[in-house]
Amino acid sequence: MDGASVFITIQKVYYPLLCILGIPANLFTFYMLCWRVCGMSDSARVYLSFLAVVDTCYLLWVTLLDLSLVFLQPQPFWHAHPWCGVINFLQFGTFYASAWLVVAFTIERYLVFRVMVIPQRHLQVRHALLTCTSIILLSHLASIPLSWINTVVQVNLTRNGQTVTVPRCLYRDAFYSTVVVWVTSFLSSGVPILLVIIFNSLIAYQLLGSGRLFTKEERRTIRASRTRGSARRTLLLLGIVSAAFVVLGLPRFITYCILRTKHNHKDFNRDDYTIAINVVGDIANMLHNLNSGTNFLLYCVVSRRFRHEIVNTFRCRVRGRELGSFFTQTTMKVFSVAERRDAAGRDPVSVVLTKLKRLETPAVPSSGNSAAFWTLRHF
């Protein structure tokens, strides 16, 4: 078996495996971010939830319906009308949305950290929802011109010793297609990568400046703050997501630019793996697609709270029984302790303690004329 056959076999296994692992992982991430407490700010959960949904759609349109079928079927369905144009619209719509959601999340974190004033929570979440929804709509609107960069052409192929004519969805060699592809390349990869690098550098600069601004005692107080702790965890998560976005996306952008400049002609065979740029370009595509299926793993590596909530999710039945027993045992009668005659003349009051953190043992009164009482702290 030659090197080209080995590389094709690797891709035949890689893309279906990425779909099998990545799609359920993204859906489970969406559930965790929406319905579990993961130690992130509310706006960050909105951005990352939308990112999980968009990455799932990207894996469906690009990795499953396009790349997997290329290696598993001799004649995928999107080689015919109208799927030849529809598949491009869906692919680049999610491609745009995934990149610009990361950019919007980065800019939002920079603004929050730069201003040092956290807006009202419901307004912050509302702005995040509006921003993410607008990005998805505009991304699919911008991908409409890409529906016409390919065209269905009848080609002759040899199968089982016979020549057959089959439709093929091929790149339209025209000025319109060249312009659209170049604009799309920069708007979906070049500009987002540049913005992510710039704003993460600004965040790092602000962090270094804040470290010199406060004393050691003040920094210890800031770290103990619940809000600041959530902000630090979100910034760390942002840094990991941004680094993965740049590292896994930049090689594809570079190789794509090389293919569209030096090798952008009809005679160039993109499927010839004896040419180095074809091998490097497909490896870059594999890395770029990996970016849509690894966010769950990144969250697990970075966030201890996220890992803890995953464990609690799979132990939900045991946890539910423990909590039910706990709340049952902490329902008690609390009596007034003012005077003996008041205690005798009043009915007991039923109180249900639903957020009990610590319960001290009843103190023994020093006088025989006083009623027993409970000391409850830190509700």
Q: What is the predicted pLDDT for the residue at 312?
A: 85
348 neighbors 365 (Cβ within 8 angstroms): no
Q: What is the predicted pLDDT for the residue at 217?
A: 56
Q: How far is CA 306 from CA 28, 39, 119, 294, 301, in A?
A: 12, 7, 25, 15, 9
Please tell me the distance from the alpha carbon of residue 188 to that of residue 175, in angstroms, as a whole number.
20
Which domains, and CATH codes, for the chain?
Answer: 3-314 (1.20.1070.10), 331-377 (no CATH)
- List Cβ neighbours of 68 (8 Å cut-off, separation of 6 or more): 15, 16, 19
Q: What is the predicted pLDDT for the residue at 169?
A: 86
Q: What is the predicted pLDDT for the residue at 82?
A: 85
164 neighbors 157 (Cβ within 8 angstroms): yes
Please tell me the distance from the alpha carbon of residue 293 to that of residue 131, in angstroms, as a whole number.
23
Which residues, listed in sequence order, are joined to residue 150 by a DSSP beta bridge? Answer: 171
Please tell me the distance from the alpha carbon of residue 306 to that of residue 40, in angstroms, as a whole number.
9
The SS3 assignment for 167 reads: strand
Q: What is the predicted pLDDT for the residue at 246?
A: 93
Residue-wise burial string across 131-145, b where 16 or more C-beta atoms lie within 10 A, e elsewhere: bbeebbeebbebbeb
Please tell me the distance from the alpha carbon of residue 332 to that of residue 352, in angstroms, as a whole number.
7
Q: What is the predicted pLDDT for the residue at 281?
A: 92
Q: What is the predicted pLDDT for the residue at 204?
A: 84
- List Cβ neighbours of 279 (8 Å cut-off, separation of 6 or more): 7, 273
Please tell me the distance from the alpha carbon of residue 7 to that of residue 4, in angstroms, as a whole number.
5
14 neighbors 286 (Cβ within 8 angstroms): yes
Walk along the chain (379 residues) in steps of 10 and give the mean pLDDT of each run.
82 92 94 86 90 95 86 80 89 94 92 64 82 96 92 81 82 85 92 94 79 52 50 76 91 89 77 88 93 90 86 66 43 39 48 48 44 34
The residue to which tokens 């400049």 are assigned: 261
Token pair for 294: 């690894």
Q: What is the predicted pLDDT for the residue at 273?
A: 87
Question: Where are the strands (E) in the chain, listed by range?
Answer: 150-159, 162-171, 331-334, 349-352, 358-359, 376-377
Half-sphere exposure of 362 (CA within 13 A, CB side): 12
The SS3 assignment for 375 reads: coil
- List Cβ neighbours of 301 (8 Å cut-off, separation of 6 or more): 240
